[in-house]
Amino acid sequence: MRIRPRRLRNGETLRKMVRETRIDASSLIYPLFVKEGKGVLEEIPTMPGQYRYSVDTMGKKLEELLRAGVSAVMFFGIPAYKDEMGSGAYAQDGVIQKALMQTKRDFPELYLITDVCMCEYTSHGHCGVLCGRDVDNDETLKLLAGTALSHAQAGADMVAPSDMMDGRVAAIRERLDENGYINTPILSYAVKYASAFYGPFRDAAGSAPAFGDRKSYQMDYHNSREGMKEALLDIEEGADIIMVKPAMSYLDMVARIKERVNIPVAAYSVSGEYAMIKAGARLGYIDEEKIICETAASAFRAGCDIYLTYYAEEVARYIQEGKIG
């Protein structure tokens, strides 16, 4: 036989030389939960090894991330009080705003991204202002734009709207620009499916809806053309990066969107993915380290340029050790 594909698999050095997918720690973002209060260090029951931190306790974790080579963090806020308007999201002294200011002082080398949504801050757990039992899309846009601006003012390097309201990227871009934040990028959760994989996150953030579900604004997981439509609309509105969420079951969307767009594509390996790996490893059914490497590589192989994962620290370490990348 003249053609033998196995020739290029003969030895670790050669396999790495011809590797098609390359991974770098600079592409990783770590999601971090910041809770109002002091002295908070609460392990999340459904996400073993992940914690809720207060502003005064998160420093140790941020140091660990930097030592591992992870230079970007996405903050998710858990306020002390919630109300129907989600006012803690855009309060100047909100938990995310305080976390941003503190981190900018203590860790100026970190790149800070903020989740822009209302669900963690509303008493009803939905991602916007209610009109009866429905989310009022256009009224919510005003609050989302105000939230994004308050984050930029507090030191956010990038804002990431995750609410799935129609027109939110344009509303945020306009508000940021008119206030002088023309260089603050928007990472849009453009292709966000209504997924059971979010369950542990809702436990972590206390953001489960008090009634109904989010299927009227998050996408039906049966649809792929609709995902492309959402991505292209957000790019037209000014998104700088497009995200697909979740990652594991939606890598087909990462690949399809990567082929169509000319901006970076991100994938979010969400809480349910993390919890499944942890549970399987705890039971001895899978090798946690190998699964972490494989799932990360699959996301980059599908075409993502940026990978959000609760395993960011571990992935960065495995890259340094030559186990992945």
- CA distances for 167 relative to 24, 80, 138, 144, 313, angstroms: 33, 29, 8, 11, 34
Distance CA 280, CA 126 (A): 31
DSSP assignment, residue 236?
H
Residue from 35, 98, 245, 278 carrying the catalytic annotation: 245
Distance CA 68, CA 323 (A): 14
All residues at 6 or more sequence positions from 39 whose CB lies less than 8 Å from its CB, including other chains: 54, 56, 57
246 preceded by cis ω (within 30°)?
Answer: yes
Distance CA 142, CA 261 (A): 28
Q: Look up tokens 């908070």; give the residue.
A: 40
SS3 content of the chain, % helix, strand, coil (to 5): 45, 20, 40
Q: Are strands 72-78 and 51-53 parallel, antiparallel or unpaired?
A: unpaired
Residue 322 structure tokens? 């030559």
Q: Identify whether 245 is a catalytic site residue.
A: yes
Residue from 192, 215, 258, 278 carrying the catalytic annotation: 192
- CA distances for 216 relative to 34, 122, 193, 201, 267, angstroms: 28, 17, 11, 20, 22
All residues at 6 or more sequence positions from 255 whose CB lies less than 8 Å from its CB, including other chains: 302, 303
Instruction: Tell which phi-psi region holds residue 125, choosing left (phi > 0), alpha (psi between -120 and 50) or beta.
Output: left
- Name the H helices within 249-302: 251-260, 271-282, 288-302
C-alpha angle 320/295/190, rounded to 5°? 110
Supply the residues annotated as catalytic.
192, 245
